[in-house]
C-alpha cells in the first residue's frame, strides 16, 4: 500500500463530504426565508441516509459484479472486503478508502436533485424520492460508467462524474420540477434569494470540496491529480469571471449570486473534463459554460416554462452537458498515463466524440425515465406537495416546526 496516496485519498474523501453541507448553505441562501430549514434539511437527511444505503448495498450494486446495467449484492454490508485489500487488487490505496471516497459521491448527487422541489414538496416525499432515485438512477449510471457496465466497456471516459452526477441531476431536476408543478405565486412575484452571503459561503465550500472531488478521482497522489486540481481551478475561475462579465453586459453591475452561480457552473463543467483535457482547453470550457447556463436559466425564468427554484437544470444540467461536450472535443490521451481512449474532435479524430455523445444521450434518457418512475412510486406512499396553506406559511414551520430566524418578526410573505 502507498501510504501517501492512501492518506491523500482519505483527505479527498473528507473534502467531498463537506460538499453536501456546502450545498445546503448554497441552496438555503438561494431559497426564501420561510423555507431555509426545509431546503437545508433535504441535504442533511441524505448525509445519514446515503451513508447507510451505500454500506448496506449501494457500493455492492455499483462496483461489484459485471452486469451491463447494475452489479450484484456479493459485497453487501462490505462482506468479503478487508481494509487491507488494495483497490483493483494492485492499486496503492485501501479498498475501504475507495469505498469511502465513492460514498461521498453517492451522498451529494441526490442532494443536488432536491433543489428542484424547494418550496412545495413534502419533506417525507423528498426523503423517500431521494432514496428511490438513488437506487434507480445514480447506482445504475455509476455502474455503467465506472463499475464495469456497458458504457465503460463501450469506451466512455468520465473523470469525476459528468454523466452519472451532473447530467443525471440536471435532467432529473427538470423532470421533478415539471411533475411537481409551480409554486404558488410563481411568475406573479419575485422569489429573490433571501441570504446572498450564504449563497457565496456555500459556493466557496463547494469549490474547496470539489478540489478533492476532482483531484481525488486520480486515486493516487500523482501528477494526474495535480493536473485535475489545476484544470478545476482554471475552469472554475474562468466561469466565475465570465458570469460576472455577462452580469455587467446585461445589467451593468456584477452580482454576488451571479459570481457564485458561475463558480458552481464551472466546477460542474470541470467534473468530467479535469483529468483528460489540456490546461489551455480549460480556459475555453470555463469561459463558455457560464454564458450557456445564464442563457438557459434566464430563458426558463422569463418564459415561466417550469419552476426550478435552485436552477438544477440551468446550473447542473447545462453545465454538465457543456463539460461532457468539452470533454469529447478536447480529451487528450497524452495527459493520462496508460490511457486507451482516442483523442477528441479538436485533434481531428471523431470516434471518441461519438462514444461520448452516446453516453450523454443514454444518461439523459435514463435519468428522465427513471425519475418519472421514482416520482410515481413515491406517490403511492405519500402526497408530493404540501397543502397550499402550508406553502404560504412556509415549509420550515409546516414541515419541521422550526424558524431559521426566530429573533426576527415573522411575515408570512417573506
Going from the C-alpha of 123 to that of each of 114, 142, 378, the distances in angstroms are 10, 26, 12
Cell of 35: 423555507
Q: HSE on the CB side for 375, CA within 13 Å?
A: 23
- Residue 243, classified by CB atoms within 10 Å of its CB into exposed (0-12), middle (13-18) or buried (19+), is buried
Beta partners for residue 86, in sequence order: 94
Beta partners for residue 189, in sequence order: 186
Tens digits of pLDDT across the chain (414 residues) = 889 999 999 999 999 999 999 999 999 999 999 999 999 999 999 999 999 999 999 999 999 999 999 999 999 999 999 999 999 766 789 999 999 999 999 999 999 999 999 999 999 999 999 999 999 999 999 999 999 999 999 999 999 999 999 999 999 999 999 999 999 988 777 788 999 999 999 999 999 999 999 999 999 999 999 999 999 999 999 999 999 999 999 999 999 999 999 999 999 999 999 999 999 999 999 999 999 999 999 888 788 888 999 999 999 999 999 999 999 999 999 998 888 899 999 998 999 999 999 999 999 999 999 999 999 999 999 999 999 999 999 999 999 999 999 866 555 455
Backbone angles phi, psi at 186, to 5 degrees: -60, 130
pLDDT at 188: 79
Q: Which CATH class is domain 3-400?
A: mainly alpha
pTM of the model: 0.95
Distance CA 332, CA 198 (A): 38
Cell of 143: 455502474
Amino acid at each position: 500500500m502507498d501510504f501517501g496516496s492512501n492518506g491523500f485519498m482519505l483527505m479527498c474523501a473528507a473534502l467531498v463530504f463537506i460538499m453536501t453541507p456546502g450545498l445546503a448553505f448554497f441552496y438555503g441562501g438561494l431559497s426564501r426565508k420561510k423555507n431555509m430549514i426545509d431546503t437545508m434539511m433535504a441535504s442533511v437527511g441524505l448525509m445519514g441516509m446515503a451513508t447507510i444505503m451505500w454500506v448496506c448495498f449501494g457500493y455492492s450494486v455499483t462496483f461489484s459484479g459485471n452486469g451491463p446495467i447494475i452489479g450484484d449484492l456479493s459485497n453487501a454490508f462490505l462482506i468479503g472486503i478487508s481494509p487491507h485489500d488494495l483497490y483493483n487488487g494492485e492499486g496503492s490505496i485501501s479498498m475501504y478508502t475507495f469505498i469511502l471516497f465513492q460514498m461521498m459521491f453517492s451522498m451529494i448527487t441526490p442532494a443536488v436533485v432536491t433543489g428542484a422541489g424547494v418550496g412545495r414538496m413534502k419533506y417525507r416525499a423528498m426523503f423517500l424520492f431521494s432514496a428511490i432515485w438513488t437506487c434507480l438512477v445514480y447506482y445504475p449510471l455509476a455502474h455503467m460508467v465506472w463499475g464495469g457496465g456497458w458504457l465503460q466497456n463501450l469506451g466512455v471516459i468520465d473523470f469525476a462524474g459528468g454523466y452519472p452526477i451532473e447530467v443525471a441531476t440536471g435532467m432529473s431536476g427538470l423532470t421533478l420540477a415539471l411533475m411537481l408543478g409551480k409554486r404558488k405565486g410563481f411568475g406573479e412575484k419575485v422569489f429573490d434569494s433571501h441570504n446572498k452571503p450564504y449563497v457565496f459561503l456555500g459556493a466557496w465550500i463547494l469549490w474547496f470540496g470539489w478540489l478533492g472531488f476532482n483531484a481525488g478521482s486520480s486515486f493516487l497522489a500523482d501528477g494526474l491529480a495535480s493536473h485535475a486540481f489545476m484544470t478545476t481551478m482554471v475552469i472554475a475561475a474562468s466561469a466565475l469571471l465570465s458570469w460576472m462579465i455577462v452580469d455587467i453586459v446585461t445589467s451593468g453591475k456584477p452580482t454576488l449570486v451571479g459570481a457564485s452561480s458561475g463558480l458552481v457552473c464551472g466546477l460542474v463543467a470541470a467534473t468530467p473534463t479535469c483529468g483528460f483535457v489540456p490546461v489551455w482547453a480549460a480556459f475555453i470550457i470555463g469561459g463558455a459554460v457560464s454564458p450557456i447556463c445564464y442563457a438557459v436559466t434566464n430563458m426558463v425564468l422569463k418564459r415561466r416554462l417550469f419552476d426550478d427554484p435552485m436552477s438544477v437544470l440551468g446550473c447542473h444540467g447545462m453545465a454538465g452537458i457543456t463539460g461532457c461536450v468539452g470533454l469529447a472535443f478536447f480529451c487528450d490521451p497524452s495527459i493520462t498515463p496508460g490511457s486507451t481512449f482516442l483523442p477528441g474532435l479538436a485533434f481531428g479524430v471523431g470516434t471518441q466524440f461519438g462514444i461520448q455523445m452516446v453516453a450523454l444521450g443514454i444518461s439523459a434518457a435514463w435519468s428522465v425515465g427513471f425519475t418519472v418512475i421514482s416520482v410515481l412510486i413515491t406517490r403511492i406512499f405519500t402526497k408530493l406537495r404540501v397543502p397550499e396553506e402550508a406553502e404560504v406559511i412556509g415549509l420550515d414551520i409546516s414541515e419541521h416546526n422550526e424558524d431559521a430566524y426566530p429573533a426576527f418578526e415573522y411575515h408570512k410573505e417573506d
